[in-house]
Every structure is written in C-alpha cells, then in structure tokens.
Amino acid sequence: MQPHHEHDDGHHHSHGRWGRVAHVLRPHSHDTADKIDTALETSAAGLRALWISLLVLGATAAVQGVVAVWSGSVALLGDTLHNVADALTAVPLGIAFLLGRRTADRRYTYGYGRAEDLAGIVIVVTIAVSAALAGWEAVRRLLHPQPVDGLGWVAAAALVGFAGNELVARYRITVGRRIGSAALVADGLHARTDGFTSLAVLAGAGGAALGWWWADPVVGLGITVAIAVVLKDAARQVYRRLMDAVDPDLIDQAETTLRAVPGVRDVTAVRMRWIGHRLHAEAELVVDAGLTLIEAHEIAADAEHQLVHAVPRLTGVTVHTDPATHPGGHHHAALSHHRRSDH
C-alpha cells in the first residue's frame, strides 16, 4: 500500500513513486466537489433573490396600481410602471443565472458565466431608460400641471412603493455582494432608485396638499439626478466586469499566498478575471532549476491548492512554473498546472 499524508482539510495525497507519477498524469482536484457545490449554491442564491424580489415588487406594483387608477395620479401611475419594469429585470438576470450553471464545452471553454455580465448591460440600459422617463415626466408635469385626488391614499401608496423597493434593494445588493454578482448588485441599485422615485411621489403629494402644484415635478427632477448617479455607479461596475477588472487587493492576497508556498522562489505574474460571479486565476512562479518534473508539479499543485483556499469564489487556477537560471533571473518553458472546477 502506498503511504498517504492526510491534510487538515481532509484531502489525501499519495507520495509513493507511482502515486506521484499518477498525480502528474491526472488533473489536480483539490476541493473540486466543494467548488462545484459552491458554484451551484451561489447560482441558487441568485435565483432565489430574483424570484423573491419579483414577488415583492409585483405585490408593491399591484397595490400602487389600484390606488393610481382610483386617484388619477399620473406620478403614481408612472412609479407603478417603473416598479413593474424593475420586477421584469429579474427575467434576463434569471436566464443568465440558469445559463451560468451549464458546464463548459468545447465552444464555450470558460463556461457560460459571461451571460450574467450581459444581463448587467440590460439592467444598466433599463436604469438609463428609467432616468430618461423620470426626467421627461417631471418636465411634462411642470409644463402641464395635473390635479390629483385622494392625496392621502397616494401618499400611503408611495410609502408602500418605497418600502417594497428598499427591501428588495437591500436583499439584492446583499446577496449580489456575497456571491460576487455585479449584475445582481446593479439590479439592487436599480430597485433603490425606484424607491427614491416613490419618495418623489410622496413629496409631490405633500406639496399638492399645500397647494404647491410644482412640488411634485421639481422633486421628480431631483430624483432624476439621483437615478443618474446610481446609473453611473452601476455602469462602472458592469463595465469593469466586462473589462476583466478585479480588486487589486485580491492580486496582493494571491501574491502573498503564493510566495509563502514552499519551493516558490518568486511570483512573476498573477492575473485574475471574473466569469459571472466566479473568479479564474493564472499565476507564473519561479522554482529551482534542478527540480524534477514531478517535484515542480507538486509545487504547482500546492500553489493552486493554497490559492483556492485563500481567495474567495476562486474556482479555476492555472499555475505555470519557470526554472530559475541564476539568483536574479529565470527562463521560460517549464510546467503548466491547471485545475478548473465545472459549474
């Protein structure tokens, strides 16, 4: 029987001659099952957030719609339609989460996680359209004031709209940040803008009660500016994902982790990219030139193992080792070690 060494995390390595050879010939699989489970759990969490948000916003819009029809409030009707549009953004994002759960194939070798980023674009466009419509409606109401009946009910419906949207916004943003989904965070920010729109309806109703017919459209213009600010933040997040931007702190953390791996003399490059709400990393390491292929591979395997445990939501790692030729340099062409979890 081959001698085995048990790690603290419960994994086993064979250190016999044939065990090491077999380890080179087959992909390293630290935590593969755990990573697959985590990937499915994050997608499930995203879908759960979307459907719960859809139900909450649907109920909110239904309440507002009844009051809008009864009172004749154009502002409340616009807010209701805005909430309906926000609820419907769950559809493209839900489709993206479902696509992201498909396994990689020979055409989409990195999987389908990018669908989530494309959904983020749809959400950003929706926020932009909402800002344009809010601004247009505010200007139109300034030019053509309209009386509103049942101001108390309108104010109550506005509070319902704000509470529903803020609840959904907090839930989406919290889940989105936890699973690393920029699109879900952007959708949460969109819900928050809808809550501000509801407050504008409330302010307008209060102003109308005081006889200030211009209060609602003026506040509406202010809310349009607030929506534009949120639009900028959401667009920046989605743009950075599409451009493969990552938090520089993650790179620092990865480099620190890799330099602490026994046998690693230097870390020459670390690259990361988000694919949906999962991270993929590539690292280039310098090791002693006198190492055998198996020894270099074991260092690479240890490096990716440590990196997966150190960096949250990291599901794919490619490690390339270069032999050092002298104390201050190295040359290329050695060994690449790759491990990628399906999702």
Following DSSP, what letter does each residue of 71-120 receive, concatenated? HT-HHHHHHHHHHHHHHHTHHHHHHHHHHHTSPP-SSSTT-STHHHHHHH
Report if pTM > 0.85.
no
What was the pLDDT predicted at 43? 67
Pick the range with the lowest mean pLDDT from 42-51, 56-65, 315-324, 329-338. 329-338
The DSSP bridge pattern shows strands 314-326 and 335-340 to be antiparallel
Distance CA 256, CA 80 (A): 51
Distance CA 273, CA 244 (A): 5
Average pLDDT for 277-285: 90
What was the pLDDT predicted at 144? 82
Say which residue, 134 or 39, is predicted with more confidence: 134
Average pLDDT for 21-26: 32
pLDDT higher than threshold 60 for residue 42: yes
Angle 182-209/151-179 helices, nearest 10 degrees?
160
Cα dist. 283→138, 247, 251, 259, 304 in Å?
53, 16, 10, 11, 9
Cα dist. 91→122, 145, 274 in Å?
10, 36, 22
CB atoms within 10 A of CB 49: 27
Per-residue buried b or exposed e for 175-191, using 16+ beta carbons within 10 Å of the residue's own CB: bbebbbbbbbbbbbbbb
Q: What percent of the chain has pLDDT over 70?
A: 81
Average pLDDT for 293-301: 93
> Which of 322, 235, 308 minimizes the C-alpha distance to 29?
308
Say which residue, 307 or 93, is predicted with more confidence: 307
Query: Going along 122-195, which residue ranges are E strands?
Result: none
Q: Taking the CA atoms of 36, 38, 41 and 42 in sequence, report the sign of the dihedral they define.
A: negative
> Domains in the chain, start-ordered, CATH in brackets?
33-242 (1.20.1510.10), 246-340 (3.30.70.1350)
> Which of 49, 189, 186, 207 minimizes the C-alpha distance to 142?
207
pLDDT higher than threshold 80 for residue 52: yes
Distance CA 129, CA 140 (A): 16
Name residue 89's amino acid. Answer: T
What was the pLDDT predicted at 337? 56
Average pLDDT in the chain: 77
pLDDT higher than threshold 70 for residue 328: no
pLDDT higher than threshold 70 for residue 305: yes
**pLDDT tens digit string along 208-222?**
788 877 776 777 777
**pLDDT tens digit string along 214-249?**
776 777 777 778 778 878 888 898 899 889 999 999
| Residue whose structure tokens are 């960096």 | 311
Average pLDDT for 106-128: 86
Using only the alpha carbons of the chain, give its radius of gyration. 27
pLDDT band at 252 (very low <50, low <70, confident <90, very high): very high
What are 215's two structure tokens?
């209060």
